[in-house]
Structures are given as C-alpha cells and as structure tokens.
Amino acid sequence: MNITPDLQEFTAVLEQHGSMNASYITLPFSVSEVYGKKGNVKIRCTFDGYPYRGSLSPIGNNEHILIVIKEVRQAINKTFGDPVMVRIWPDLELRTVQIPEDLEAALQDLPDLKQTFDKMSYTHQKEYVKWIEEAKKPETRQRRLEKTVAMLREK
C-alpha cells in the first residue's frame, strides 16, 4: 500500500442516513485545508483495515462525509452507532472499470452507446457492470444486458 503524506487517521462513528439502510461518517478535519478542494475528493481508505475506494462528498458548511457501503459494514461486522478506525489518503490512480466481454460485444456495433458508456463516471460504469455480473442465471444476465443498452439509449 502506497500511503502519501496526506494520510489522515481517526476514529469515527457510523451514522445512519435517516431511516435508510445507508451509513456514512462525518470527517473530523477540513478537506479543503488538507486536500485543497471544496468539492468531491477521490480517496482510498480503510475501515478497521478493510480497503475501500470512494469519494469525500461535501455537505455544506465546509464539511464532508464519506459513505460507508453495506458491503464494507458487513465485512467489518459493524452497524450504525459503532466506532470504526479510518485511514484516508488521496486516490491518484486512474479509475477504470473492466467491462465484461458480453457487454463489450453488445456495445461493439453501437458506437454512440459505447461512447455514452465511456463518458459515464467511474461509479456509474461500476454499478452497471456490477448489476450485470451479479445475475445468477444466464437469462437474467441477458435481460440485464438488454436493459443496460436500452438505458444507455435513453440517456
């Protein structure tokens, strides 16, 4: 792990977002002072040693939060109100998504849609690919591929 001098280490409490099954931590430092940005900041981090790649998101009043996805909470066996040890540093690597062969093939003859997909944010690309790859049955995967192409047409 290549840690930069901008490493921040602290303990935070997992906060619940309203009544949703969603959590985040509020950062105990000024992102603009530490990283020189007021908007989103791409980061790498660990929660109790579990690695994650995400973004620090501004919420106003010069404060930022970091979303803690359900997969991370399950991996570290923590829930809302639990403390978690956090290490954060800037993510300077290019974020790319490995496009599955069947999605690549579906977009091959549709250059406009391929271009639309390529222009999407890393996070949106990742979510489309994850949705396709989580299909358990071949017919479900095929339906999701077709739905992805349809959604790309709508954008």
The pTM for the full model equals: 0.68
CATH T-level fold of 8-90: Elongation Factor Tu (Ef-tu); domain 3 (2.40.30)
Domain boundaries in the chain? 8-90, 101-154
Query: How many angstroms separate the CA atoms of 123 and 95, rounded?
Result: 9
Integer-rounded Cα Rg, in Å, for the chain is 18
Burial status of residue 69 (CB atoms within 10 A of its CB: 0-12, 13-18, 19 or more): middle
pLDDT tens, 100-129?
Answer: 999 999 888 888 988 999 888 888 898 899
* Residue type at position 134: E
User: Would you give the end-to-end CA distance of the chain in angstroms?
Assistant: 38
Residue 145 pLDDT > 60: yes
**Which residue stretches of the chain are H helix?**
31-35, 70-76, 101-108, 111-119, 122-133, 138-154
Q: What is the model's pLDDT at position 110?
A: 87
pLDDT tens, 61-77?
Answer: 889 999 999 999 999 99
Residue 79 pLDDT > 80: yes
pLDDT tens, 1-45?
Answer: 444 568 999 999 999 998 888 999 999 999 988 998 888 999 999
